[in-house]
């Protein structure tokens, strides 16, 4: 793959950038240059916001289209993304190391599903209603689009997490300025090409690839009405401070340090649960915010559970992200690998015991690989049990009874995901209800488009997905009609 772009998608056309700066894209598996794109500067962000504002303010523009017409345009975009899925999947896997088998299920399919889902909601959801008043008369209650949305997307699931934002925003009638991460920009250009092919009206979607500095500039931009961000908790706090000062609505989906609670009655038969366990603990090379990276095991079965996860991790196939047989690919960047290796060193220093992994796979002579790593003898106060590592590293923590398991699960700054593993469904649901988190699964975990997704505590503010996300891009207006 050798892809080089010279322009930015702003106002429905390819526009030359205002700066000569460029973003080079390096393959996570081979460390080779695979493409480059312009790096957006302040003037480009200004132009993108202005284009989104024009598209929103136009009396005959996107915000004023009939919901069914917006839905039809979204479905055209979904059809085109579906046809382009293999190209998008390959671009994502090359850039961030996501195994291509995972990318096909998520990066290739999820945006298509979300566009069609929110197109359906746009058709079915009433955007206004008349209510009888308690003092006589009536009130017309309208749900109007909030305006121009600044959407900032991370590198780990770039297309999926972008669609979490643009699909409900488009359905609501909003326009967007989308800022992809510099680590994953080639897939953003494939999306831009699909937007043009689908004839989405000019200015509805504008794309400005850039780093953190331009992200901060977009967040504080006077022409933006709402920010939707997925990324680190540290960055989320900074964004929240800016939006709070500006009284600007914001949705933040941030980090996690979720617990996978193995109850004493769980039947941990890998031949039956391996796929679900992988998705819940090691998906996308561990570079996933909701993963249960703290495995809580009953003391009476502790050695058994440690051995199970050790064997599970050791059996995973490590390789080039584009190999369909790969289960664990490389980290997204050299910097990310250094971060993960730093945490592994901290775990060792604090007294945790590595049962497998802990280094770089010997069979890989290039690429940013880290072996799947299991830590045993971990106390919940250890750094590796409290801070998000974002790599293929799991900590197995013992507990004495169900109450202690719940206490340990809740003893974290985060609250995004989690799982409960049990042979008793009702018991599993009861334990899940006690865990302070935004989402949790019983013997499985995978976000569903119809249900709200997000976290509590340091894992964020607000929710994405489900009908609830549509409401995040709308504001209410009451028109009092009198008698």
CATH number of 259-448: 3.40.309.10
> What phi, psi does 475 have (nearest 5°)?
-130, 150
Spatial separation of the C-alpha atoms in residues 38 and 48, rounded to whole Å: 14
CB atoms within 10 A of CB 361: 16
> What pLDDT was estimated at residue 300?
97
Q: Mind listing the pLDDT tens digit for each residue in 86-110?
A: 999 999 999 999 999 999 999 999 9
CB atoms within 10 A of CB 375: 29
> What pLDDT was estimated at residue 271?
87
- Looking at domain 3-254+458-482, which of 3.40.605.10, 3.30.420.10, 3.40.640.10, 3.90.1300.10 is its CATH number? 3.40.605.10
Dig out the tokens for 375 from the structure.
Answer: 């830590």
Q: Mind listing the pLDDT tens digit for each residue in 315-355?
A: 999 999 999 999 999 999 999 999 999 999 999 999 999 99
Q: Mind listing the pLDDT tens digit for each residue in 263-308?
A: 999 999 988 999 999 999 999 999 999 999 999 999 999 999 999 9
Task: Say yes or no to pLDDT of 226 above 90.
Answer: yes
Mean pLDDT estimate for the chain = 97
pTM over 0.85: yes
Helix (H) / strand (E) element for 441: namely: strand 441-442
> What pLDDT was estimated at residue 386?
98
> What pLDDT was estimated at residue 363?
86
CB atoms within 10 A of CB 245: 9
In this prediction, residue 482 has a pLDDT band, given cuts at 50, 70 and 90, of: confident
Q: Mind listing the pLDDT tens digit for each residue in 368-378?
A: 999 999 999 99
In this prediction, residue 60 has a pLDDT band, given cuts at 50, 70 and 90, of: very high
> What pLDDT was estimated at residue 136?
86
Angle at 158 between CA 195 and CA 187, to 5 degrees: 50
Angle at 188 between CA 185 and CA 193, to 5 degrees: 135
- Contact between residue 43 and residue 18 where contact means Cβ atoms under 8 Å apart: yes
CA distances from 257 to 220, 377, 419, 444 (A): 29, 18, 12, 17
Residue whose structure tokens are 């945490």: 343
Q: Mind listing the pLDDT tens digit for each residue in 175-217?
A: 999 999 999 999 999 999 999 999 999 999 999 999 999 999 9
In this prediction, residue 250 has a pLDDT band, given cuts at 50, 70 and 90, of: very high
Alpha helices in 66-220 (DSSP H): 67-83, 85-96, 100-105, 110-124, 158-172, 186-197, 212-219
Fill in the DSSP letter of residue 293.
-
In this prediction, residue 50 has a pLDDT band, given cuts at 50, 70 and 90, of: very high
The structural domains of the chain, with segments of one domain joined by +, span 3-254+458-482, 259-448
Q: Which residues are catalytic?
A: 253, 289
């Amino acid at each position: 793959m050798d892809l080089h772009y010279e322009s930015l998608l702003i106002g429905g056309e390819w526009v030359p950038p205002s700066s000569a700066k460029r973003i080079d894209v390096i393959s996570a598996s081979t460390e080779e240059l695979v493409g480059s794109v312009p790096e957006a500067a302040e003037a480009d962000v200004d132009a993108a916001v202005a284009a989104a504002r024009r598209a929103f303010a136009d009396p005959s523009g996107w915000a004023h289209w009939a919901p069914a017409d917006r839905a039809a345009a979204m479905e055209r975009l979904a059809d085109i993304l579906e046809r382009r899925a293999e190209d998008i999947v390959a671009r994502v896997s090359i850039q961030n190391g996501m195994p291509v088998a995972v990318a096909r299920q998520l990066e290739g399919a999820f945006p298509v599903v979300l566009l069609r889902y929110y197109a359906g909601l746009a058709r079915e959801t009433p955007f206004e209603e008349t209510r009888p008043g308690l003092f006589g008369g009536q009130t017309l209650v309208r749900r109007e689009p909030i305006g121009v949305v600044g959407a900032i997307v991370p590198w780990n699931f770039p297309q999926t997490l972008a669609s979490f934002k643009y699909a409900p925003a488009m359905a609501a009638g909003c326009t967007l300025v989308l800022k992809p991460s510099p680590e994953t920009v080639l897939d953003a250009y494939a999306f831009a090409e699909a937007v043009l092919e689908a004839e989405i009206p000019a200015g509805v979607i504008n794309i400005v690839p850039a780093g953190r500095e331009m992200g901060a500039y977009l967040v504080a931009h006077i022409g933006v009405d709402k920010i939707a961000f997925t990324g680190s908790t540290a960055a989320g706090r900074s964004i929240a401070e800016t939006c709070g000062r500006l009284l600007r609505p914001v949705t933040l989906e941030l980090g996690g340090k979720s617990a996978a609670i193995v109850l004493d009655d769980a039947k941990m038969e890998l031949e039956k649960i391996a796929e679900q366990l992988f998705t819940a603990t090691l998906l996308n090379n561990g570079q996933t915010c909701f993963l249960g990276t703290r495995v809580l095991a009953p003391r009476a079965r502790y050695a058994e559970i440690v051995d199970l996860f050790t064997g599970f991790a050791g059996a995973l196939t490590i390789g080039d992200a584009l190999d369909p047989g790969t289960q664990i690919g490389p980290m997204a960047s050299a910097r990310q690998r250094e971060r993960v290796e730093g945490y592994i060193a901290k775990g060792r220093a604090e007294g945790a015991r590595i049962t497998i992994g802990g280094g770089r796979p010997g069979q890989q002579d290039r690429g940013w690989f880290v072996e799947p790593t299991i830590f045993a003898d971990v106390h919940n106060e250890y750094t590796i049990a409290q801070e998000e590592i974002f790599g293929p590293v799991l900590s197995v923590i013992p507990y004495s009874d169900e109450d202690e398991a719940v206490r340990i699960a809740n003893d974290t700054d985060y609250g995004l995901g989690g799982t409960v593993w049990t042979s008793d469904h009702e018991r599993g649901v009861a334990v899940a209800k006690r865990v302070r988190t935004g989402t949790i699964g019983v013997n499985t975990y995978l976000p569903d488009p119809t249900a709200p997704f997000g976290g509590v505590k340091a894992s964020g503010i607000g929710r994405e997905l489900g009908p609830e996300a549509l409401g995040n891009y709308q504001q209410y207006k009451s028109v009092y009609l009198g008698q």
